Each structure stands twice: as C-alpha cells, then as structure tokens.
Structure 1
C-alpha cells in the first residue's frame, strides 16, 4: 500500500540548480579555475559540505570548505533576489493535487532546513508537507539513503511503501538504497543525467495521485 510521496526539492520543486552552478562558477573564477557544467552536475543532490570538501580536494582550492559554503550562499542569494524563486513548471499544481487527495507528503532535501522553508514558502507549498527532512540532519549525504529514511521515519511509514521523486543521479541512487519506488524528473531544460529511477518523466503535467499509485503498484517489491 502506498503510504507517502516524498520529494527532493532542488530541481524537482524549485528551479534552483542553475543558481548553484552560477554561484559556484563565480567562486571558482575568483580562484582562476574554469570547469564545465558537467562537473557541477555530479554534485546535484549532495550536501553543501560534501560538495565543497570534494571540490576543495579535486581542484586544490586555497580556502576552507566553510568559506566557500558561506560565499556560495551569499552569491546565490543575490541571484535568487535577481530572478526570484522559480517553481518547476507543474510542480505546485502537482503537490496541491496530492495534498487535496489526502496523501502524506514529505520533502527530503540536501539543502539546509532554513533554505527549504524559505524556498517552499516563497512558492506557496511549505504548509502542504507533513514532514521536512534536511541533509544537515543526517550523517551521510545522498547518494546514501539517510535523508529519505529520516523522512519516512518522521512520517511513521515504511520506506518500501513510499514513492520518491528525484532529478539527480545521486538522489535517484539514494531512493533506490532506501528501497522506495523512484520517479525521476528529467528536466528538458538541463543536460540529460543518468537516473536509476524506476520511471523517468519530463513533465509533472501528466502526474497525479492515481498515476503515482499505478507506478507504485508496478514497481513495488
């Protein structure tokens, strides 16, 4: 029985990945480093700490990970102020429809709790989620399943009775490790990523609770 639907946030509910790419590129440019966008893609779905600790090692960055995290947040705030917080097309309607159908909803995001609340409030769906779980609350970042398992625990449901939506390879692996049924969102506006989700969609306009139930019934172990 499908007991809950759990969402990643960045790239699934809000169109935020470009702002992280831009903020990180700005910081790397200051250090005299240029990387392709594919380099940033491999960090999608992971925590700030993991991202910058790894980048510091791989790119021999001179400052601490904490410094780059602070600077990234500052620069991204400028970008978001410039562009506004933009929901993924169809995501708000999809969430509202699930809520009206009485579905238990949660967010399992690698972003800090403050960022999750701020972003979801700005697009008007924060109150629609029963549970919020953040990567800063667990020991291991995606692709580990920790944040999804925490969300299921807080909902009081079994992970195997959940459907989870992800847009990144790391996130889709985390969903699989949590033994949840995975729906991957492949945003047509971004490069194609290798998702290991059970089903991959390119729009939310065709999804509703009934279709989520059918996907769950087809792929539930």
Structure 2
C-alpha cells in the first residue's frame, strides 16, 4: 500500500474537545427551555451541529429564534472553550510536522463546522501544514457516511485507497472505511480501546511514527 495522504479527524484527535460540545449544548439549549438529559444527549453524540440542534428543537421547540441562530450560539460557545482551555492533544503538532517532512499530504475531515476547525488549527498553529480542511456541513450527510472523506481525498488529489484516516470513534472509522481508506484509531492512551474496524492503533502522538509511515 503506497500511502500518500493522512487525514485527521478533529474532535478527540487533534483536541480533547468532546466535553466542550456537551457543555456548550447544555448551556445553550437549556437557556431555551430544552430539558437536556444524558439519555437523549447520547443519541446526538455523532451528529453534525445542525442535526443536534434540529434534534432538540423537534422535542422542545423554542420560540423567537430560528434553528440556525441557536446552532451558531453552540458553535460560538465551543470556540470560546477551545480558545480558553488547554485541550491540545500532546505531541500532535510534532506528529503532523513529521508527516509533512516525509511529503505526505495532510487533510482534516470533521463533522464539526468549519468555523470550529479553523479555531482548532489556529490554536495548534498548524493551519499551514494542512492541504485541505473539510467539514460535513458541506455534505448532505455527516459521518458515518463517507462523503466528508471522499471529498477530502478529491481535494487532496489522492485516491482514497492511498489515504489513511486517524479517528477516535466507531462512527468516524466507518466513514473512512466506507470511503475505501485505511484507518488508525487514536486512543489517547486508553489501552482498552481497540476498535475491530481499525487497521492500526495509536495510543498517543508522542510515540515514534508507525513503520507504516516510513
């Protein structure tokens, strides 16, 4: 397999931000009368921000503000958390720079809105290392649908079979697999995580680059 490109997921891979989304959604939706419960929130974990907002609106419709405006409030809150909290995955900048020095093309494929991706790359100061940054907000379906990965590969000019995706979720791995890519699950040092649909596993970004990358 001649790898030419590495495509990163964002939340849970570049930044430890999953908790920011949960808190932002609780903050914003509760302020509009939504009764956010853990049981219902579990259904939204892998949705796009628009899908999450529509999910809550259907159950607890609010007045005086459209869905898009409430969605933007969630996005703004998440960006505030990213900018103010220490959430960078340890070693990830060096990992990306090492890949770039080996002439791999680098991509980002996320279900999160592009505004959030831009904030993350600015925080990590790695925007210039990415050849493409793509969000599911520009696709008809988010992960686990493969669209965001297929478009990312197209933007990179690399066939999907020559790309490898780094993901932290079953949903993301399904999306990359569906696009025909090899996959790496990133576990953030949790040795109990070992998705059987991933081709490889990385515990953290401070270990030596896998032999896979040469």
CA contact (8 A) 1:98 1:209 kept: no
- In structure 1, C-alpha distance between the alignment counterparts of 2:211 and 2:193, rounded to whole Å: 27
How much does 1:158 deviate?
0.8
- In structure 2, C-alpha distance between the alignment counterparts of 1:35 and 1:126, rounded to whole Å: 36
User: Is the aligned partner of 1:48 residue 2:30?
Assistant: no
2:72 matched to which residue of 1?
A: 70
SS in 1 for 2:158: coil
Go from structure 1 to structure 2 and tell me whether the alpha carbon gap of 1:108 and 1:67 turns closer, same or farther (over 3 Å shift). Answer: same
Q: CA RMSD in A?
A: 2.7
2:6 matched to which residue of 1?
A: 5
Pick one of 81, 84, 87 that aligns with 1:79.
81
Aligned residues: 209
| TM-score relative to the length of structure 1 | 0.81
Go from structure 1 to structure 2 and tell me whether the alpha carbon gap of 1:212 and 1:62 turns closer, same or farther (over 3 Å shift). Answer: farther
How much does 1:42 deviate?
5.2
Stretches of structure 1 that go unaligned for 5 or more consecutive residues are 214-221
- In structure 2, C-alpha distance between the alignment counterparts of 1:192 and 1:25, rounded to whole Å: 27
SS in 1 for 2:53: helix
CA contact (8 A) 1:168 1:193 kept: no
SS in 2 for 1:107: strand
Query: After superposition, what is the alpha-carbon deviation per residue over 1:162-216, rounded to whole angstroms, capped at 9, x for unaligned?
Result: 1101112221110111111111112357x96967322333212225263346xxx
CA contact (8 A) 1:101 1:209 kept: no
Mean Cα displacement is larger for which, 64-73 or 88-97? Answer: 64-73
User: Is the aligned partner of 1:145 residue 2:146?
Assistant: yes
CA contact (8 A) 2:34 2:56 kept: no
Matches within 5 A, 1:110-149: 110-149=111-150
SS in 2 for 1:94: helix
Stretches of structure 2 that go unaligned for 5 or more consecutive residues are none
User: Is the aligned partner of 1:60 residue 2:60?
Assistant: yes
